[in-house]
Amino acid sequence: MLDKKSISVLKAMNKLALGSAYKVVTTDEIMAILSQKSQYDNDSLKEIIGFLEKQEYINIKFSEDNTYCYSILPKGSICIEQADSNSKSHKSKNIKFLPYLYVSLASFIGTILALVIFFAFVP
């Protein structure tokens, strides 16, 4: 399984490829798509791209300095789809939990009100 940085680089490369067989890009183009919060430099980006190629997520036809000609392999596409579905499932789990929270909160408030009424009016 890939770490968060590798997945974000793979997603950025997928956005640049736009379904084409092979795409020529520079590391500057990839870094422009990546979020500004994460600090990528050319060396770390080269390492991640090399790792993605060794693990057969992408196929690099040629590379010169900071320029790559690559295509996303099926394994990479599947990984991107799984990462997207995982992020959506985490959001849906939080939404499923909310009704239970509301019911628990309402029952707690009802119990407090019942106790206040009971002790206020019973001598």
The residue whose two tokens read 């599947």 is: 78
The residue count for the chain? 123
Which value, in Å, is the radius of gyration of the alpha carbons in the chain? 25
- What is the number of helices (H) and of strands (E) in the chain? 4, 3
pTM of the full predicted structure? 0.66
Going along the chain from its start, the domains and CATH numbers come out as: 4-75 (1.10.10.10)
At 3 the pLDDT is 84
pLDDT of residue 9: 87
Give me the pLDDT at residue 27, please.
86
- The Cα 90–Cα 116 span in angstroms is 39
Along the chain (123 residues), what's the average pLDDT of each consecutive run of 10 residues? 83 82 87 75 87 91 89 88 74 71 93 91 76
pLDDT score at 89: 60
For residues 34, 36, 39, 42, the Cα torsion angle rounded to the nearest 10 degrees is 50
User: What is the pLDDT, as a whole number, of residue 77?
Assistant: 86
pLDDT value at residue 91: 59
Average pLDDT, rounded, for the chain: 84
